[in-house]
Amino acid sequence: MKHVRSKFKGFHKPFNKCYGTINPFPVLPPIDFTPPPYKGPSYEKAQSMQAQNVFPQRQMYEEPLLLYTGKMQWLFDHNGKRYLDMFGGIATVSVGHCHPRITNAIARQAANLNHVSAVYEHPKLYEYVEKLVSKMPEDLNTVYLVNSGSEANQLALQLARLYTGNQDVVSIQNCYHGVAGSLHGLTALSATRYNQPVGHSLHHTMCPDVFKGIWGGKNCRDSPSQTLRACKCSKNNCWAADKYYDQLEQLFTYSLPRAQVAGFFAESIQGVGGVVQFPKGYLKKAYELIKSNGGLCVADEVQTGFGRTGEHFWNFQSHGVTPDIVTMAKGIGNGFPMAAVVTTSEIAKSLNPGFHFNTFGGNPVACAVGIEVLEVIEDEKMQQNSLEVGTYFIEKLCGMRREWSVIGDVRGKGLMIGVELVDKKHDESDTGIPTSPLSSRAISRIKNDCSKMGLLIGIGGARSNVLRFMPPMCVTKDDVDFTIAVLRRALQNYYEAKFRNNL
């Protein structure tokens, strides 16, 4: 095997007789940071304790990563190996690992007041609430602070039922709203289910997925990337949205008590389900139907909020809707365990007849973190960075889609991006509906290869065949270029393994 110099500085292209010139070996962008020495338990002890003393968790990689420190978009393992974090703890690290302003805010507040519980008042609570509601539509002015997205959605479910006096709640197939209590039934992904009852009066309408659903195509998404399917829709009228809306109406016709629905939950872009975007106009019509039948509309902004999608601070704004309740978590605290439910003062009063309490909600340190996150997003223009770098990334991925048949779809907005991998792009009919998701073995191979080259990504979708990218919002175009180089190399490795009949 001989080597030729790449046009990319720092890369070499090996020549392979079977495949010709293959993709360059990626080189991590340089950084001005040296991690401190690792002083924790040995890797072997950590794996032993994980197996014997910790509740079982699905491991991301064949060789689990023992991560111990981070800096902005970078993570380091126990050996000091550096990784570009393009998953951000599932859209959780919003402004960067160990961002100095966040760590300083934690230290200042912890030195002053660490915890008093919600039965007392403290100034940081009001400072944070004032900043948060300034980002919301005018009537959404009442905040309940909690600790996780699941807890926020559980409270939103309770509020919808208390306020309306109704019980039936609708969500969308392929959604993820958490797996605590009744949320097991609200979430509509079989991988999250146990063989147990999951709550009452919970219904799922058809997922309006314009890539592999029944309807949709190249004119349907509010995204820099459209599907390659043919489409009956025009730029001003989405026929697919109308057809999926008809399915929601059918649910009302056959499964719900007339004009007695409690609420409707929707992620403005489905996250765990594989970064699925709804056709333009669908959510607006769905909201109108829910409200005309007595229900409240809940926007789950747990993964999409805080400027991640670029054009708007909350992605429900891109749909032209105003929810009755908004739930948020993850990026709200840059990894600090906090979340919130924001609604109108009238809906919030529904909790008054009973007793609802959270010991740690509104914790002074959490509020200090929340304030700093909002200020960093604004001061460092991270929402704008999400738009510019995210669009650049999507365009690069679309270029790869034209080159690699395994890439069936590229979708998303800002720094919330999904790449769906398929074994065969289209069926034999003229529908353009994709068939055969790429096998789990192949996905595992690609994901592990990326990790070995220093790139951390997520996996999602009902068939776990979607690569998910939700990095800290401080990533750069150089980071994107590195990511693209790694993906190219990982896909080349996949094709080589397939050629050798190893996959």
pLDDT of the chain along its 503 residues, tens only? 333 333 333 333 333 333 344 555 799 999 999 999 999 999 999 999 999 999 887 778 888 999 999 999 999 999 999 999 999 999 999 999 999 999 999 999 999 999 998 889 999 999 999 999 999 999 999 999 999 999 999 999 999 999 999 999 999 999 999 998 889 999 999 988 888 888 899 999 999 999 999 999 999 999 999 999 888 888 788 999 999 999 999 999 999 988 899 999 999 999 999 999 999 999 999 999 999 999 999 999 999 999 999 999 999 999 999 999 999 999 999 999 999 999 999 999 999 999 888 899 999 999 999 999 999 999 999 999 999 999 999 999 999 999 999 999 999 999 999 999 998 655 544 455 666 899 999 999 999 999 999 999 999 999 999 999 999 999 999 999 999 999 999 999 999 988 887 66
Residues 6+ positions from 213 with CB-CB distance below 8 Å? 206, 207, 240, 244, 433
Rounded to whole angstroms, what are the CA distances from 271 to 90, 337, 412, 501? 9, 19, 10, 33
Whether 415 and 86 have beta carbons less than 8 Å apart is answered as no
Q: Give me the pLDDT at residue 60, please.
A: 84
Structure tokens at 139: 């009537």
Residue 55 has a pLDDT of: 87
Q: Is the torsion defined by CA of 170, 174, 179, 184 positive or negative?
A: positive
Name 399's Cβ contacts closer than 8 Å, sequence gap at least 6: none
Q: CA–CA separation, 342 vs 323, rounded Å?
A: 10
Q: What are the CA-CA distances from residue 454 to residues 233, 457, 492 (Å)?
A: 41, 10, 17
Q: For the purposes of burial, counting CB atoms within 10 Å of the CB of 42, is it exposed (0-12), middle (13-18) or buried (19 or more)?
A: exposed
| Dihedral over Cα of 15, 21, 25, 31: its sign | positive
How is residue 486 written in tokens?
A: 């790694």
203, 251 contact by CB (below 8 A): yes
| 230 close to 271: Cβ distance less than 8 angstroms | no
- Decide the pairing of beta strands 67-71 and 20-21: unpaired
Provide the pLDDT for residue 435: 65
Q: For the stretch 430-466, what's the b/e string if a residue is b when 16 or more beta carbons lie within 10 angstroms of its beta carbon?
A: eebebeebbeeebbbbbbbbbbebbbbbbbbbbbbbb
b/e per residue, 79-92, with b = 16+ CB within 10 A? Answer: eeebbbbbbbbbbb
- Mind listing the domains of the chain with CATH numbers? 3-91+382-499 (3.90.1150.10)
